[in-house]
Amino acid sequence: MKSSDIRARFLKFFEERGHTVVASSPLVPANDPTLLFTNSGMVQFKDVFLGREPRAYNRATTAQRCLRAGGKHNDLENVGYTARHHTFFEMLGNFSFGDYFKRDAIRYAWDLLTKVYKLQPERLWTTVYHEDDEAYDLWTKEIGVPKGRCIRIGDKPEGPKYQSDNFWQMADTGPCGPCSEIFYDHGLGIPGGPPGSGEDEGDRYIEIWNLVFMQFNRDDKGAMTPLPKPCVDTGMGLERIAAVLQGVHSNYEIDLFRDLIRAAGRETGTKDLANNSLNVIADHIRACAFLVVDGVIPGNEGRGYVLRRIIRRAIRHGYKLGRTEPFFHRLVADLSRVMGGAYPELPWAKERVTEVLKAEEERFAETLENGMKVLEGALHREDRMLDGETVFQLYDTFGFPVDLTADMARERGIMIDHAGFEAAMQRQRERARAAGKFKMDAGVEYSGRATEFRGYDTLALEDAKVAALYRE
- Rounded Cα–Cα distance for residues 119 and 128 (Å): 21
Q: What is the CA radius of gyration of the chain?
A: 27
Does the structure show a pLDDT above 70 at 332?
yes
DSSP character at residue 437: S
Note the CATH number of domain 3-248.
3.30.930.10
Record the pTM.
Answer: 0.84
Q: Are the CB atoms for 128 and 139 separated by under 8 Å?
A: yes
Q: Are strands 415-416 and 385-386 parallel, antiparallel or unpaired?
A: parallel
Of residues 154 and 464, the one with the higher pLDDT is: 154
Does the structure show a pLDDT above 80 at 447?
no
DSSP character at residue 330: G
Q: Tens digits of per-residue pLDDT, 3-55? A: 999 999 999 999 999 999 999 999 999 877 778 999 999 999 988 888 888 99
Q: Which residues of 42-78 are buried (b: 16+ CB within 10 A; e: fewer)?
A: bbbbbebbeeeeeeeebbbbbbbbbbbbbeeebbbee
- Rounded Cα–Cα distance for residues 386 and 378 (Å): 7
- Rounded Cα–Cα distance for residues 182 and 208 (Å): 6
Does the structure show a pLDDT above 90 at 372?
no
Q: Are strands 20-21 and 59-67 parallel, antiparallel or unpaired?
A: parallel
Note the Cα 390 to chain centre separation in Å. 28
Comparing CA positions, the residue from 215, 180, 1 lying closest to residue 105 is 180
- Under 8 Å CB-to-CB from 313, ≥6 apart: which residues? 76, 280, 284, 401, 403, 404, 407
Q: Are the CB atoms for 36 and 306 separated by under 8 Å?
A: yes
Domain chopping of the chain, boundaries = 3-248, 254-366, 381-433
Position 72 scores a pLDDT of: 56
Comparing CA positions, the residue from 82, 25, 37, 26 lying closest to residue 309 is 37
Position 456 scores a pLDDT of: 59
Mean per-residue pLDDT for 307-313?
A: 94
pLDDT band at 98 (very low <50, low <70, confident <90, very high): very high
Comparing CA positions, the residue from 235, 215, 233 lying closest to residue 225 is 215
